[in-house]
């Protein structure tokens, strides 16, 4: 009997939890229906994947798309275009918009704004404040909510829960894993006077390694006290990585491509304000520590922390220049270049960019290439060498900190629930994004 599929991905080398090898993938009704030799099957659409690797769809679990309130920097449509152009099939968007995503109505508003405009699947964080702990349980059960985000140190926007009492109150209120920007606000406030006008090399001194380490130790203590799970975002120090290795039962760990790739002081001298982010890009000692964290299995996910500002804003003299850089479009090529350089395997890349997010956040039906799961795939050409440029960026901000960098390994296709959205650098379907579902927030009968 000849089986008929909606789509067959033919002739590619697939990488999933079973390892890697050549196989075809059959898709029916947006789900993976078969993996194997489908040479005798037929399909409404056949995608030739010869010479390509077919990976589970890449999930970027930390992006700032700036809508509502800062749409001149980015919006949900442009940010999701960056995502699919870079091979990313789903994103989790942060709450430090204007207004902030701190009440149910604002989460509902973001979902409404995303409908028919976002090109990739999506979820939104609920933002924690010192006043809204009582409504966070409702928000974390809502459709399209990926969890609660807490800023322990001030960054872009007004969200901040600096004190232990406030953090503990949030943790006690919620059930799901909460994500944290972990820098100690009290130490940051003490050190702001160390900022040298016009000198971005002073940024990692203002927001020093100790500010991150102090905060993360406080956070782990509070998580243990309350018996809750935490996700520590954008780790930037070797010491935090070593500390978190002893707390894997409650703490999951994110690293970013930029902290793994760029280092100071050289990067600040070369690209100035474009290199400014929170927590800062640090020196070779810390970058080496992050790579040890990758190799020792401490890092669970790679997130981009895509946080664009305009070039005009970035050109302001330090410390008037804002922190944050685009990244969702460059996550895949930067990390594939590291794979080709031998710093991690392609299997580890898959774990960090799809399976890890599925495990940590409890995503329903995504993050795994398996029969019955959503047919989300990132097609990559591991032999293709390209130069990342500002002109390639689809962001409204129009730039990337990796401008001029040559990489080997390139995303050439983005397939979401069986639909091709990007192919060979062209957007081929628009506005198809739907809310990501989570096991701890599935509707009950």
Q: Which residues pair with 25 in a beta bridge?
A: 9, 35
- Respond yes or no: is residue 199 known to be catalytic: no
Instruction: Catalytic residue, from 24, 305, 337, 374: name it.
Output: 305
Which tokens sit at 201? 């090399």
- Virtual torsion, Cα 244, 235, 166, 154, nearest 10 deg: 160
Q: What's the number of CA atoms in the CB half-sphere (13 Å) around residue 202?
A: 16
The rounded distance, in Å, linking the Cα atoms of 330 and 327 is: 5
421, 120 in Cβ contact below 8 A? yes
Residue with tokens 């090399």: 201
**Residue 305 near residue 255 (C-beta atoms within 8 A):** no
User: In what helix (H) or strand (E) does residue 224 lie, and over which residues does it extend?
Assistant: helix 209-226
Using DSSP's 3-state secondary structure scheme, residue 283 falls into coil
C-alpha–C-alpha distance, residues 372 and 194, integer Å:
55
Query: How far apart are the C-alpha atoms of 304 and 339, rounded to whole Å?
Result: 17
Residue carrying structure tokens 């810390």: 286
- Residue pair 352/301 in contact (Cβ under 8 Å)? The answer is yes
Check if the beta carbon of residue 253 is closer than 8 Å to that of residue 299. Answer: yes
Q: H/E element holding 48?
A: strand 42-48
Tokens of 247: 């707390």
Q: What are the φ and ψ backbone dihedral angles of 301, each rounded to 5 degrees?
A: -140, 155
With tokens 């409890």, the residue in question is 362
What are the two backbone dihedrals, phi and then psi, of residue 435, each rounded to the nearest 5 degrees? -65, 140
d(CA 276, CA 308): 11
Give DSSP secondary structure letters for 382-425: EEEEEE--GGG--STT---TTTT-EEEEEEEEEEETTEEEEETT
Q: Which residues are known to be catalytic? A: 305
């Amino acid at each position: 009997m000849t089986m008929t599929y909606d789509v067959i991905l033919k002739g590619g080398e697939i990488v999933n939890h079973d390892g890697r090898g050549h196989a075809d993938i059959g898709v029916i009704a947006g789900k993976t229906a078969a993996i194997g030799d489908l040479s005798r099957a037929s399909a409404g659409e056949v995608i030739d994947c010869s010479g390509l690797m077919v990976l589970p769809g890449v999930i970027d679990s930390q992006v700032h798309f700036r809508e509502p309130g800062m749409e001149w920097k980015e919006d949900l449509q442009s940010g999701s275009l960056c995502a699919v152009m870079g091979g990313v099939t789903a994103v989790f968007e942060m709450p430090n918009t204007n207004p902030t995503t701190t009440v149910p109505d604002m989460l509902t508003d973001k979902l409404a704004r995303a409908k028919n405009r976002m090109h990739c699947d999506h979820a939104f964080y609920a933002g924690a404040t010192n006043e809204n702990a009582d409504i966070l349980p409702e928000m974390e059960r809502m459709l399209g909510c990926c969890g609660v985000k807490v800023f322990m140190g001030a960054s872009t926007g007004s969200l901040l829960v600096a004190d232990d009492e406030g953090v503990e109150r949030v943790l006690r209120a919620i059930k799901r894993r909460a994500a944290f920007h972990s820098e100690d606000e009290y130490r940051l406030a003490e050190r702001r006077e160390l900022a040298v006008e016009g000198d971005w090399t002073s940024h990692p001194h203002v927001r020093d390694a100790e500010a991150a380490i102090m905060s993360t130790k406080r956070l782990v203590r509070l998580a243990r006290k309350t018996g809750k799970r935490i996700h520590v975002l954008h780790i930037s120090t070797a010491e935090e990585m070593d500390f978190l290795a002893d707390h894997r039962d409650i703490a999951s760990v994110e690293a970013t491509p930029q902290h793994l790739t760029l280092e100071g002081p050289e990067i600040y001298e070369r690209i100035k304000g474009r290199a400014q982010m929170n927590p800062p890009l640090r020196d070779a000692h810390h970058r080496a520590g992050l790579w040890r964290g990758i190799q020792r299995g401490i890092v669970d996910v790679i997130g981009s922390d895509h946080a664009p500002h305009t070039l005009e804003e970035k050109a302001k003299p330090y410390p008037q220049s804002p922190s944050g850089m685009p990244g969702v479009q460059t996550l895949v090529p930067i990390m594939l270049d590291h794979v080709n350089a031998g710093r991690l395997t392609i299997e580890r890349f898959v774990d960090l960019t799809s399976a890890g997010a599925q495990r940590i956040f409890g995503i329903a039906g995504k993050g795994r290439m398996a029969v019955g799961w959503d047919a989300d795939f990132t097609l990559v050409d591991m032999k293709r060498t390209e130069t990342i440029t500002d002109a390639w960026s689809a962001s409204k901000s129009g730039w990337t900190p990796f401008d001029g960098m040559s990489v080997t390994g390139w995303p050439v296709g983005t397939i979401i629930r069986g639909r091709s959205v990007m192919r060979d650098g062209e957007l081929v379907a628009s506005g198809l994004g739907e809310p990501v579902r989570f096991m701890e927030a599935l509707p009950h009968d």
